[in-house]
Structure 1
Amino acid sequence: MDILLAINKPANVTSHDVTQKIKRKLRVKVGHMGTLDPQAEGLLILLTGRKTKFLPYLQASPKVYEGRLLLGTKTDTGDIWGEVLEQHPVDSLTESSIQNVFQSFIGLQKQRVPMVSAKKVAGKKLYEYHRQKIDVFVQYHDIEIVELNYLGYDKERQEIAFEAKVSTGTYIRTLCEDIGERLGTVATMSHLVRTGIGPYHLKQAGRLEEVLENIQPYILDEKIALKQYKMVTLEDITPVYHGKPLTLNEEASPILIVHKDEIVAVYKKGEDQLYYNERGLW
């Protein structure tokens, strides 16, 4: 079965566990459009069979999260499930001061990669260094905060609720810590739900047990997430299957070759103006 599948991952289950259960049911290769931490909930999109070949062209989809951050506490993992390192009193905050801080994060920026992450340094994942208590140089990477919306402040619990639309690769736990710093204290992530990936929404997803019982209602159309690419329909795709270059009256590159309403290949324009097969998707 070659599909995109929307699953509402529960807390305290790893993305790997979900992927393996779907893999065992369908008995095909399974990939995903971005993992979720075990304690996080929400939209997990899986690709199965030949649809896994679409992954490089879907990875850049922005992601939307709803979360909460706890003020006055700093942990070694950047969330409330880690070891508490510091605790500080929190000064009185106003909604306008919080919103001003939120607005200061909008745009392109460098973000610190948390030590508890899967990013590799010298062949090892950062969380492996963390477990072994080995210090490494702080890593930074480029991200974009597209939107950061204030949803409320619980003064008694010292928690701020927010919604964030961010580029792929953005660490929400780091964002929570950075928000706390700009508010003059420390902070840690206390709750996280992914509500969107590109054009897809959590409302389209089913709980794992629902998906395992009946997959059909939770299948997604990949074309919706590939609208940024020009799609060219061909009646005869024999040259495509043979990996031959194509002469097309097009300007865009790369383009998607479509046959009988199915995307079958990605072609890229060469310096000689011919289109060359970059990836077969059959």
Structure 2
Amino acid sequence: MTSEEILAGSILLVDKPLTWSSFQAVNKLKFLLKRKFDLPKKFKIGHAGTLDPLATGLLIICTGKFTKKITEIQAQAKEYTGTIVLGATTPSYDLETEINAHFPTEHLTEELIFEATQQFIGEIDQKPPVFSAIKKDGKRLYEHARAGEEVEIQARKTTIYEFQITRIQLPEVDFSITCSKGTYIRSIAYDFGLALQSGGHLSALRRTKIGDYSVINAVTPEEFEKLMHNEI
């Protein structure tokens, strides 16, 4: 990798660590690249699709002219793996907030759980979580939520191409899902609980693919720093 390649345009695949924001990951690579190659102060760099701090996995970072490809990359199908905890809900639909309600799970069987996935295949109407960055009345939804303000959230169309259950050890259910741009997996977890006449929230999430790009070929920020240090 050279400074000319960075400035002309490159695609970097990062395995985002848990608790890191996507912004932090971009800033870390920006700092490392500038230090290594003495790049201009305002060279172009950005990511193609945000990952929540509590999610890990594939974050695509584009530099130079390749930042123009961000919209195209974001539009591609995404693949995730994760864990849903049944029998309880949280306001954020994940572990960002504490459990606010408990529900029965005694009626749940493997057959019911497998059958429930079929309700989500194809184009569906999905309400984004109230703890999300979508703007409503000039404020982020999470700002309304943290202020205790109730807002009406409009459902959005999204498409689920595949939804597979990979492990059942109640109250935990592991899954693999392939979906279109704009799908909130936290909402899938919440709605999956409702479909099972129980509650549900997301306890783990990992993005494994965006289009043909795979996390298998990604490096952590720490690994990227070592590569920069060792590169001649």
Task: Please say whether Structure 1 and Structure 2 have the same fold, judged by a TM-score greater than 0.5.
Answer: yes
> Are 2:140 and 1:164 equivalent residues in the alignment?
no
Letter in 1 for 2:142: Y
Q: Does 1:94 align with 2:109?
A: yes
Identical-pair percentage: 37
Given that residues 15 and 35 in structure 1 are in contact (C-alpha distance below 8 angstroms), is that contact kept between their aligned partners in structure 2?
A: yes
- Asked whether the equivalents of residues 73 and 210 of structure 2 are also in contact (C-alpha less than 8 Å), the reply is no
1:21 to 28, 32, 35: 28
User: Could you say which residue in structure 2 is the equivalent of 1:182?
Assistant: 195
> For residue 154 of structure 1, what is the aligned residue in structure 2?
169
Q: Is the CA contact 1:23–1:29 (under 8 Å) kept in the aligned structure 2?
A: no
Q: Secondary structure at the match of 1:184?
A: coil
> Which region of structure 1 is more displaced relative to structure 2, 50-59 or 36-45?
50-59
- Aligned counterpart, 2:226: 213
Q: Over alpha carbons, which structure has the higher Rg? A: 1
Q: Offset of 1:207 from its aligned partner?
A: 1.2
Structure 1 position 196 matched with structure 2 position 209: yes
Match of 1:3 in 2: 10
Corresponding residue for 2:151? 136
Q: Is 2:49 the partner of 1:34?
A: yes
Partner of 2:131, secondary structure, is coil
1:118-176 Cα distance to aligned partner (Å, 9 max, x none): 11112211111111111111221110011000101113xx1110000010110001000
Cα deviation for residue 72 of structure 1 reads 0.9
Determine if contact 1:9/1:43 at 8 Å carries over to the other structure: yes
| Distance in structure 1 (CA, Å) of the matches to 2:27 and 2:44 | 10
Higher relative contact order, chain-length normalized (CA < 8 Å, sep 6+): 2
Q: Deviations over 1:70-100 (max 9, x none)?
A: 1111111101231221012212322221111
Map 1:12-91 onto structure 2 (within 5 A).
12-27=19-34, 28-91=43-106
In 2: Cα distance, 1:55 partner to 1:39 partner:
23
Structure 2 match to 1:240:
none
1:52 and 1:202 mapped to 2: Cα distance?
Answer: 20
Which of 103, 128, 134 is residue 119 of structure 1 equivalent to?
A: 134
Distance 2:225 2:11 in 1: 14
SS in 2 for 1:84: coil
What SS does the corresponding residue of 1:169 show, helix, strand or coil? Answer: coil
Kept in 2, the 8 Å contact 1:150–1:162? The answer is yes
SS of the residue aligned with 2:120? Answer: coil
Q: Distance in 2 between matches of 1:117 and 1:22?
A: 25
CA distance in 2, matches of 1:84, 1:94: 23
**Post-superposition CA distance 1:2-32 (Å, at most 9, x none):** 2110011110111111011111222422111
The equivalences for 1:224-239 within 5 A come to none
C-alpha RMSD over aligned residues: 1.2
The answer to whether the 8 A contact 1:65-1:164 is kept is yes
Structure richer in helix, relative to its length: 2
Q: 1:28-72 CA distances to partner (integer Å, 9 max, x unpaired)?
A: 221111111101111111111211011122221111000110111
Give the Cα–Cα distance (whole angstroms) in 1 for the partners of residues 203 and 69 of structure 2: 33
Q: Is the 8 A contact 1:195 1:202 kept in 2?
A: yes
Q: In 2, Cα distance between the equivalents of 1:30 and 1:131? A: 31
Structure 1 residue 105 and structure 2 residue 112: aligned? no
Letter in 1 for 2:120: F
| Greater alpha carbon shift after TM alignment, 168-177 vs 91-100 | 91-100
